[in-house]
Structure formats: structure tokens, C-alpha cells
Chains A and B, each alone.
Chain A
Amino acid sequence: MTTIDTHVGVSTHTTGSSFVASVGQWVTSSDHKKIGRLFIGLSLLYAIAVAVIGALIGFERINPDGAQFFDADAALQLTQLHRHALVFGLLAPLFIGLAIAVVPMQVGARAIALPRLAQLGFWGWALGTDLVLISFIANGGPGGGSSDMVDLYLLGLGLSLAGLLAGAVSVATTVLTSRAPGMGLMDVPAFSWSALMGSVASVLSLPVAIGTVAYLYVDHTYSQTAFGDNKVINTWLGWVYAQPQTFVLIVMALGVLAEIAPVTARTRQPLRPVLLAGIALITTATLGAVTQTAHVLDLSGTTGDKLSSTILFLFFNGLPLLGALVTVAVAMLSFKEGRPGVNASFAFALLGALMLLAGVAGSFVQHIGDAALVGTSFGEGVTAYVVYGGLLAALGGITYWAPKLWGVVLDDKKVLGLAGLGFIGVVLASLPLYVAGFADQPVDAVNDFDYSGPLGLWNVLAGAGSAVIALVVLAYVGLLFAAVRKGAGASDDPWDAHTLEWSIPSPAPADNFAALATVSSSEPLLDVKPSQEVPA
């Protein structure tokens, strides 16, 4: 027997309070939904900015000697800023924020575990990212001309990583310790499971990144003997922005798909244990990440050399790819069992997941030595697929949980349109870079390469893709704003969903559940409304 409390709580809307009081509330709040929304909001702002930078880089590559947008000296700094903002301004905080906002509700907790740590996490990440931006503006960052500002870049990066780490610790602890009675780890919703996996993987890999930053800072400040000067910082730090570290951050993106797919198909998730295992398998990316090396398949040399290279390649690059494939495949099985259908959140999540697969698979290809893609813009294409794919999936998640976070349901058709446009944008922003990679266009560079011929076209397309993504995010944020301004209108369970967060009012009250629910399956809501279930 499953008992579910569906009490009607007080709305978290603050009406009539002054601007100062409202700012004070946001600054001091330990409500996980507020902290999560802060993460999400700021990440989306960065998403717009980073897409604009991507567009600039694409257009600049048409004719670097013309220097339309920035001078040659700034090229290295701008490409590095682009990489940084893609991964730690957009991808990582967007999912940590979504997890902080949603996971406690999903697992039936009244609050997030370690709420003030989550708060510290947001402000640490935000201020650290500010320091990074200041350092770039003041001629710092990798390749920067001001030594102090290069230091500041490293220190700011360290702080923002520490902030993300704090958020990840908070999320992982919530799933591990604050589940509703009766909810074993096997029963946690797919997104919460992916949040746990992603957070644990972050907790295991981010300290290594912070350690790298620490030794780079000490060396850069005091001697510049062990790790070189400002230009080569990212030789040592590059892995933090590259695959497989980025895979650690997209576990939750596939979790979003796994969460939404069975709800859309109106069925219980088939092969649920396999799905959870698939998600868990993606976190083997951590193993590759902490080694801080790209494991390239090298088929030259003796048989022994070939064998060892193949084993390493398959182990470090193959396992995450396998995990991602399994996850997407099993999630899509819902549609075989349930009834096919589509809505905006599912479309975003699915298209995002496909883009991610393209990225993960691309990374796999990139690490095949004979393809000669290492050091080319193919890597940029992989990052773009992964990050923008993650962005699409996250927008799907935001659309899905908007009723609980803002009390609104977004216009399905409009969002569906944006999903389609976003898909085009991502493909444009990424695929041409794959092609350009085969033409040996260098990675993270603008100058010293002949972009004439078809390459110009590819870069124009990539730039245009980034511009489209910027527009999509802008339009999405506009839609969300408009909906929130219009006011609440969402019912408690608009999607006819399976998990605990849909048992409480929309938007969710500050303390989530007035009384704890006791659950006995992985789809507790379905247990109490069996009539709506499509027979398996």
C-alpha cells in the first residue's frame, strides 16, 4: 500500500515585498529550488554569451588576416575563454543547478542535504567565474599578457570548480541519505539516479582538476619552471575542458531523457535495472578524466604495442560510449512498450541525447590515431556536440519541471519549435567543425592557417549555428519570463507523471512535503492512479 500526501502548501511566491527584501531573500535563501534556479538562470545567461563568442570565432576564421572582430593577440585568449565558458559557465552549472532544484523533491525529501553548502556552492561558482571573466578582460587567462591576471584566471577557475564541487556534494548526499521511507536506491527516479552518478563522478574528478589548478598556480606564480609559461597552461589544464571530463557532466542530460521518455510514453520504464546500469557506466569517464591524458588508439609498432593501445583506448573511451548507448536505447524502449507520442520537453531531451551521442561517438573516433584528428577542430566539434547537446537536454528538463519550479507550463508548440531550431543550431555549430577537422583545421586557433576554399563555408556554418543557439536560448528565456509574468497556471501533475514531486502543489512549497510519503516502487504515483496506465 502506498500512501501519498498530496497536501496543498503555501506558495513560495513573494508578492508585495520590496526589491531589496526580495534580493535579500535570494541571497540568503537555503531553499534548494531557489539555489537551483540561480544556477540555471546564470548558466543560461552564460549560454547566450558563449554562443555569441562561438559565432564570433566562426566568422573570424573566414578571414583571420582581416581581423574583423578581434586582433590576432586576442585569438588564443578568446578560444580559451570559449572553452572555459562552454564547460564551466554552461554545461556543469546547468545540470548541477537542475539537480539541486529537482532531486530533493524527486526523492521525497523536505529539503536538500547540506543546504548552506549548496548555497556556498552557487556563490563560490558565480564569484569564481566572475574572477575568470575579470582576468580575461584584464588581459589574463591562458595566453594572457598580464602575469597577475593569468594567476587570477587560475585562482578564479579553482574557486568556481570548488563551488561546483560543493553543489555536487550536496546533490549526492541528498540522494544517498535523504530519500523518502521505502525508497531504496534502486527505486530512485532515473533523473535522481543520474544526478547521483554525475555528482559522484564530479566529486571524484573535480578535486583532481582543482589540484591541477593549484600546482599550475604555484608554478606560474613562483617559478614557471615545471609547467611552462602562460601560453601553455592549457596543455596541463586542457583535459578539464575536454572529453572524457565533459562526459562526467552529461550523465544528468541522459538522465533527463530517461526520466521524460516513460512519462511521455505513459508506461513504466522497461528494463529499469539495465537503464540504471547504463547511466552508471557513463561515469567510467571519470577514470579517463583523472588520468589527465587522451588515450589515443595507435596502431603502429609491434603487436604488443597495438594491443596495449587498443586495450587502453577501449577501456577509457569505449566504456562511456557503451553506457551512453545503453542508456538512450533503454530509455527509448519505453515507446515500444507504451504509446508513442511527443511533447516539447521530450523533444528537447531526445534531440539533446542524440547530439550527445554524436559527441561521444565523435570523441571515440577522434581518439583513433589513424584518423589524425587530435589537435584539429574536430575536438571543438565534439565539445560543441556535447555541450550544446547537454544544453538541449537541460532545456527539456527545465520545460518538464517548470510547473514545480515556477508554477508554469510553457506553450508546448512554441517550445517544440525552439527544440527543432535548437537541433538545427547544434548540428550547424558542431558538424562543420568535424568536417573542418578532417581538413586539418587546427584546434583552438584562428591564425596561421589557410581558411580559403570550402573551409570558409564550414566555419561560416559553425558560426551561424552558434548564433542560432544564442537566439534559441534567448527566445526560451523570453518564453519562460513571459509565462512567469503571466502567473501560475500549472496543475499539480500536468504530465501525468510517475514520481513524488508531482504529488505536491505547483509551484512547490518551501518545505516540499508537509508530511513524508512512504513509497514501495520506483513509480509511486502510478501505483495510486493505475487506471491511467497503459497496459504493458
Chain B
Amino acid sequence: MFTTGSKYFIGLTALSVVATVLYLFLVNPSDLGALALVGLITSAATLSGVSIFTRDSDTETVEQAVDASAGPASASFWPIVVALGAAMVLLGLATEPVVFVLGIAVLVGGGVEWMVQGWSDRASANAAYNSEVRAKVLGGIEYPGLSAVLTIIVAFLFSRIFLAVSKDAATIFFMLVAAVIFALGFVFAARTDLRKKALSVVLPVSIALLAIAGVVSALSGERKQLVDAAREDHFAIEHRECGEEASKYYDKHANNRVPLRKAVIATITVENNEVSAKMIGLDRKVDTITIPRMNSTTVLFRNLDDSERRLVVNLGSAKVGDTDVVEPLGTCTQLTGKGQEQVLTLTIPKPATAEEPFSFTVPGANGEIKLVVP
């Protein structure tokens, strides 16, 4: 009646019951251990039932022993990928959210691949056919997915190089790289006989070079300007720098829109440390610029002095959210070198108050242009 396995599980169940009873009477019914023991009773009892029901999975003939005769599964890459995904998820939980998200992606990707492989392995007795079935289902996702990942890696490595070398060097370097790629592309297109052999050399070599350059760049850190900018807190959201620059490198919070250079309503110039303005259609300097309310309007800033300047538009001040903190409103252009121009596009919904009139200023230069929004 009772098979060996079921006897063991029934015994374990009985002992769990005894242990639980001991806990209920001798220790504390609300103890965590009592709870776990109740779980143990449930698990052991379930296993007892399964064992009795399946008669310990005993088989007498080779034909019945399906599980024992099942051959080894095909090699699979996905268990390690899933384990790696799980490790990344956990590492991400404790460190960077981006690792967590990547881990989820690896976990989901590996899990799907695993499931499809498991399904295709059982599709038929023919291993070649099974692998074809698997390729049919997943090939359409694997190749684009893999190339997307590769593209991201390539772009990331390139970006590390960009961030590490100076602006000028980056420009020259990437012009050269582009030229080389173009030339190679031309050669491969023209000489079809070369293609396969040469590609099998050029591609791995260039990928290896890129990887080395990218890793070296990443390890050597970003270029000094960016490091300084980070140190000076330029990347923080609170950093609204529209005054004279503490650093000469970078300012993230300048107005970054790309406006219409051809439709400027006014041009503000700084020359000999003096700010002056002209409006479209009038060939004389003005000290007031009037722009329509609630309409996107473009103002051009031109620096004719040696030092770098920026145009700042002062739009009064306002409370931040529900707090009592009052913060100046307005925006500014990026720093502009000699003879260079920058444009600002403004959409101002309401007129200024008498106490806080709007104006354009250039930190470090004299003069102010009044801004009127009727």
C-alpha cells in the first residue's frame, strides 16, 4: 500500500505535526518557527500525496521508464544568461538602477530564449529540424536585437572616446575615421573578390581597436573641461548659471532651442563692453524691445568683444512651487566667443510688473535693454 517514498514523506509530515504541536503548547503559537512548521506540514503532506499517487514513479520495463531513458538535453547558453540577468538585477538593486534595468532585459531575453529552445527541443526527434524551428521563431528577433545591442555598444565606446579627447581632436579623429570607413566601403564594393577575406580581418581588428580605445578612454576619464564642469556642479538641475561664468567650459542650462535665425525681431550687440540693440526694420539703435505677448519671438545676440559673453533675459521672479523660495526667472544663451552669434527664442505669456520690469543684460558688460511685453 505505502511505497518507500510515501512512507518517508508521511513520517516527515507526522513529525512536522508533532513539532508544530510542541510549538503550540511549549513555545509560542505566534512564533515565526510555528508558522514555518505549518508550511512544512503542508509541503510534506503534498509530497506524501504525490508519492502515493505516483507509486514512487516505480517502473518495471524499459518502455515505462520514460524519464530515465530521456537523453541529455542539448547544450544551452540560456541558463547562464538567466543567472547573469538575475545577478545583474540584484546588483542593480543595491547599486545603479541602470544595471537593474539591463538585468531585467537580460533576464527577459534569456528567459524567452530558454522557453523557445525548450519548446523547439521537443518539436520532433530530429535535432536539425528542431534547431531550424527555433531559428524560424527567434531569428527575426535575435538578429535585429543583437545588432541593436552591438550598435549600442559601438555608440557607447565611441562616446567614451568623444568625452575623453579634446573637442578639436575629436573632430579631426572622427573625420579621419569616417574617411577610412568610406574608403574601405568603396574598396569592398569595387573588389567583390576581396570582400570575404578582407572583411574577416578588418572587422574583428576594427572592433578590437574600438573596444581598446573605448575602454582606455573610459578608464582615463573624461576630458578636463567636463571633469571641471562636473566638479563645479554644472550638471545639477539646480545649477542655473546665467551670470558671469565661474567656469569657462560649459553651461548646461542655457536655452538650448534651435530658433529661426532668419526671423529675429531684434539684434543685441555687445561691443567695447557696451550693450546696444536694433530692431528689425529700423536702422537705428533702440533701448527698448517690444515683443508681442505669448508669441514665440527670436532675439539674436552678437558678441564683438574679445571676452566670452552671454545674453541674459531677466523675466522677474516667482515662487518655486508651494514654497516660499523666490527664484529669478529667465534664461540665457550659451557663452559666445568673439564675432559669434547666439539666438534666444522667448514666449512670454504675461507682461512685467512695475516692480520687476523685464530686461536684457550681458553679464560683464555695461548697459541694459528694456524688454516690453504689452
Known: A110-B69, A111-B72. A176 touches B57 (CB 8 A): yes
CB <8 Å contact, B33 and A290: yes
Q: Residue B90 at the A interface, CB < 8 A?
A: yes
Candidate in B34, B47, B68 with the most chain A CB atoms within 10 angstroms: B68
Q: Residue A90 at the B interface, CB < 8 A?
A: no
Q: Residue A334 at the B interface, CB < 8 A?
A: no
Closest beta carbon of chain B to A1's beta carbon, Å: 13
Q: Pick the contact of A151 from B60, B73, B93 — CB < 8 Å?
A: B93
Q: Which residues of A contact B78 (CB under 8 A)?
A: 116
Q: Which residues of B contact A123 (CB under 8 A)?
A: 79-80, 82-84
Q: Residue B11 at the A interface, CB < 8 A?
A: yes
Q: Residue A22 at the B interface, CB < 8 A?
A: no
Provide the bound-state CA to CA distance between A421 and B67, in Å.
Answer: 43
Known: A108-B68, A149-B94, A181-B65. A204 touches B8 (CB 8 A): no
Q: Pick the contact of A120 from B22, B23, B79 — CB < 8 Å?
A: B79
Interface residues of A in 98-157 (CB under 8 A from B): 107-111, 113, 115-117, 119-120, 123-124, 126-128, 130-131, 135, 148-149, 151-152, 155-156
CB <8 Å contact, A120 and B82: yes
Q: Residue B59 at the A interface, CB < 8 A?
A: yes
CB <8 Å contact, A116 and B79: yes
Closest beta carbon of chain A to B107's beta carbon, Å: 12
Interface residues of B in 77-116 (CB under 8 A from A): 77-80, 82-84, 86-87, 90-91, 93-95, 114
CB <8 Å contact, B86 and A159: yes
CB <8 Å contact, B61 and A176: no
CB <8 Å contact, B76 and A30: yes
Hey, which bits of chain A sit against chain B, CB under 8 A? 25, 27-32, 107-111, 113, 115-117, 119-120, 123-124, 126-128, 130-131, 135, 148-149, 151-152, 155-156, 158-159, 162-163, 176-186, 197, 200, 204, 208, 221, 276, 280, 283-284, 286-287, 290-293, 308, 311-312, 315-316, 319, 510-511, 515-516, 518
CB <8 Å contact, A27 and B77: yes
Q: Which residues of A contact B93 (CB under 8 A)?
A: 151, 155, 221
Q: Residue B213 at the A interface, CB < 8 A?
A: no
Q: Residue B58 at the A interface, CB < 8 A?
A: yes
Q: Which residues of B contact A31 (CB under 8 A)?
A: 72
Q: Pick the contact of B87 from A119, A128, A208, A312 — CB < 8 Å?
A: A128
CB <8 Å contact, B59 and A131: no
Q: Residue B361 at the A interface, CB < 8 A?
A: no
Q: Which residues of B contact A186 (CB under 8 A)?
A: 4
Provide the bound-state CA to CA distance between A156 and B306, in Å.
Answer: 59
Closest beta carbon of chain B to A142's beta carbon, Å: 15
Q: Which residues of A contact B86 (CB under 8 A)?
A: 124, 127, 159, 162
- Closest residue of B by beta carbon distance from A112: B72
Closest beta carbon of chain A to B221's beta carbon, Å: 21
**Surface stretch bound by A, among B35-43, B158-166, B190-198:** B35-43
Q: Which residues of B contact A25 (CB under 8 A)?
A: 75
Closest beta carbon of chain B to A50's beta carbon, Å: 21
CB <8 Å contact, A111 and B79: no
Provide the bound-state CA to CA distance between A180 and B69, in Å.
Answer: 8
CB <8 Å contact, A176 and B70: no
Provide the bound-state CA to CA distance between A276 and B4, in Å.
Answer: 10
Q: Which residues of B contact A178 (CB under 8 A)?
A: 65, 67-68, 70
Q: Pick the contact of B76 from A119, A148, A221, A293 — CB < 8 Å?
A: A119
Interface SS of chain B: helix
- Closest residue of B by beta carbon distance from A148: B94
Interface residues of B in 23-61 (CB under 8 A from A): 23, 25-27, 31-34, 36-37, 39-40, 43-44, 47, 51, 56-61
Q: Which residues of B contact A128 (CB under 8 A)?
A: 87, 90
CB <8 Å contact, A184 and B83: no
Provide the bound-state CA to CA distance between A130 and B68, in Å.
Answer: 34
Provide the bound-state CA to CA distance between A402 and B61, in Å.
Answer: 31
CB <8 Å contact, A177 and B67: yes
Q: Which residues of B contact A108 (CB under 8 A)?
A: 68
Q: Pick the contact of B77 from A28, A32, A130, A308 — CB < 8 Å?
A: A28
CB <8 Å contact, B71 and A110: yes
Provide the bound-state CA to CA distance between A148 and B114, in Å.
Answer: 32
**Surface stretch bound by A, among B13-21, B242-250, B286-294, B296-304:** B13-21
CB <8 Å contact, B62 and A109: no
Q: Which residues of B contact A179 (CB under 8 A)?
A: 57-59, 65, 68
Instruction: Return 27 A-B CB contacts under 8 Å, by A number.
Output: A27-B80, A28-B76, A30-B75, A109-B70, A111-B71, A116-B73, A120-B82, A123-B82, A127-B87, A130-B87, A135-B94, A155-B93, A158-B90, A176-B5, A177-B57, A178-B67, A179-B58, A180-B68, A181-B59, A280-B11, A283-B12, A287-B40, A291-B33, A291-B34, A308-B25, A312-B27, A316-B19
CB <8 Å contact, A107 and B68: yes
Provide the bound-state CA to CA distance between A312 and B114, in Å.
Answer: 47
Provide the bound-state CA to CA distance between A297 and B33, in Å.
Answer: 17
Q: Which residues of A contact B323 (CB under 8 A)?
A: none
Provide the bound-state CA to CA distance between A311 and B44, in Å.
Answer: 23
Q: Which residues of B contact A158 (CB under 8 A)?
A: 90
Closest beta carbon of chain B to A118's beta carbon, Å: 8
Provide the bound-state CA to CA distance between A185 and B7, in Å.
Answer: 11
Q: Which residues of A contact B71 (CB under 8 A)?
A: 110-111, 511
Q: Which residues of B contact A127 (CB under 8 A)?
A: 83-84, 86-87
CB <8 Å contact, B76 and A516: no
CB <8 Å contact, B76 and A311: no
Closest beta carbon of chain B to A510's beta carbon, Å: 6
Closest beta carbon of chain A to B298's beta carbon, Å: 48
Q: Residue B120 at the A interface, CB < 8 A?
A: no
CB <8 Å contact, B8 and A280: yes
Provide the bound-state CA to CA distance between A117 and B76, in Å.
Answer: 11
What are the 5 A-B residue pairs with the smallest beta carbon separation, nearest first?
A291-B33, A123-B83, A155-B90, A119-B79, A152-B94
Known: A111-B72, A148-B95, A180-B68. A200 touches B47 (CB 8 A): yes
Q: Which residues of B contact A200 (CB under 8 A)?
A: 47
Provide the bound-state CA to CA distance between A28 and B82, in Å.
Answer: 12
CB <8 Å contact, B27 and A516: no
- Closest residue of A by beta carbon distance from B3: A185
Closest beta carbon of chain B to A365's beta carbon, Å: 22
Provide the bound-state CA to CA distance between A25 and B70, in Å.
Answer: 21
Closest beta carbon of chain B to A43's beta carbon, Å: 17
CB <8 Å contact, A176 and B15: no
Closest beta carbon of chain B to A158's beta carbon, Å: 7
Candidate in A117, A119, A183, A280 with the most chain B CB atoms within 10 angstroms: A119
CB <8 Å contact, A152 and B91: yes
CB <8 Å contact, B59 and A182: yes
CB <8 Å contact, B5 and A511: no
Provide the bound-state CA to CA distance between A316 and B4, in Å.
Answer: 24
Known: A184-B56, A185-B4, A518-B62. A287 touches B16 (CB 8 A): yes
Q: Which residues of B contact A27 (CB under 8 A)?
A: 77, 80
Provide the bound-state CA to CA distance between A149 and B93, in Å.
Answer: 10
Provide the bound-state CA to CA distance between A110 and B82, in Å.
Answer: 25
CB <8 Å contact, B37 and A290: yes
